[in-house]
Amino acid sequence: MDVVSVELGERSYDVCIGEQLLGQLALYRDVTFGHKALIVTNHCVAKWYLAPVEKAVASAGFEVDVFTLPDGERHKTLATVESIWTYLLEQKHSRDTTLIALGGGVIGDMVGFAAALYQRGVNFIQVPTTLLAQVDSSVGGKTGVNHPLGKNMIGAFYQPQRVIIDTGVLATLPQREIGAGLAEIIKYGLIWDADFYRGLTAKLSSLRDFTPDIAGWAIKRSCEIKAAVVAQDEREGGMRAILNLGHTFGHALEAQLGFGTWLHGEAVALGMLMAIALSVDLGYLKFELFEDYRALIARLGLPTSYPLSVSPEALYQSMWLDKKVAASQLRLILLKQLGAAFISADASQAQIMSVLSRFQA
């Protein structure tokens, strides 16, 4: 087992990475308090992974309840989170309970948000079961829900007690989910570690090349980079925003296509292509990186354009519903060079619209 520490003083925690960790009793026992725990999952995840987690937590001496949510991004709402709070109250969970998020990013974000607000904050553990959640949303303490006008616009920073990443779950994921997760992994190379990016491009000629040994290496390095960024800027006052490369474009795509039509990682993959194109247009990058990245995501089956049913004008308006907007300025994450991201408000509306129009199918 590899362990990556997220250093946040009293709120520090470990990210545990390895095979067959779901049922490891010790990983739950020392971070589960009180006498009750609630596992929140969805129907799809439950049939694969609920049994070993429930057994491990019960064996650690806790009374375990299970609450099963519907699957899908469209259910990432305040109403769904309220249903978690209602269940906690009905089952008489007090403020020493522990919530366990067993699922992908949608489950993790909602359970973390529910934990942040229930009785003003209770303990929770992230057990991510998608590649994207393992390398992104489960680490760093961002929790929340979507609003019809924008993604993740309602939420809180709230850190888990532990993140348990079982790489064995990847064997049961569809290839589309693997591709979406790889988009976020590639992001870490683009924004932080040029050698990591080059290593990924050399190893991944297709999704079939994402073997267990490459997965372990890529997940660990991704978590190390995210932990380093979060330790320096927990609440995204500045530097942490670089983790959002392509996300302003990507979130707008998700909103305009309809939440759940594209996976988050698919939208981010195209969003990063747009951000790289804008970086080239502004003179920060050479065109070669754009070509290299576009070829990489195409090999992995990720989108390089969006459908004609979405207008560039609508995308541009959606981009303003972004948490990085400040002082009436649309701030974007761009690249100065491979491995070096920065926050920029330099792009004009005409330059952004040019990029948006260029990638319409």
**Whether residues 60 and 185 fall in one domain:** no
pLDDT at 150: 85
Query: Please, are residues 34 and 96 in contact by the beta-carbon 8 Å criterion?
Result: yes
pLDDT at 324: 85
Q: What is the mean pLDDT of residues 276-283?
A: 98
Give me the number of domains the chain comprises.
2
CATH code of the domain containing 204: 1.20.1090.10
Per the listing, tokens 């260029």 go with: 358
**Whether residues 218 and 165 fall in one domain:** no
Which 8-state DSSP code applies to residue 302? -
pLDDT digit string (tens) for 282-295?
999 999 999 999 99
> In this model, does residue 96 exceed pLDDT 80?
yes
16 pairs with which residues across the strands?
3, 164
What burial class does residue 125 get, using C-beta atoms within 10 Å of its C-beta: 0-12 exposed, 13-18 middle, 19+ buried?
A: buried
Element (H, E) at 46: none
> In this model, does residue 126 exceed pLDDT 90?
yes
pLDDT at 327: 73
pLDDT at 192: 98
Q: What is the mean pLDDT of residues 145-149?
A: 91
CATH code of the domain containing 148: 3.40.50.1970
**Whether residues 216 and 329 fall in one domain:** yes
> In this model, does residue 83 exceed pLDDT 90?
yes
pLDDT digit string (tens) for 217-237?
999 999 999 999 999 999 988
Domain that holds residue 142: 2-172
Residue numbers annotated as active site = 120, 142, 184, 226, 236, 240, 244, 247, 251, 264
**Whether residues 38 and 114 fall in one domain:** yes
Q: pLDDT band for position 322 (50/70/90)?
A: confident
Q: pLDDT band for position 151 (50/70/90)?
A: confident
> In this model, does residue 47 exceed pLDDT 80?
yes
Query: What does the DSSP assignment read for 55-112?
Result: HHHHHTT-EEEEEEEPPSGGG-SHHHHHHHHHHHHHTT--TT-EEEEEESHHHHHHHH
pLDDT at 118: 98
The region of weakest confidence among 185-194, 322-331, 340-349 is 322-331
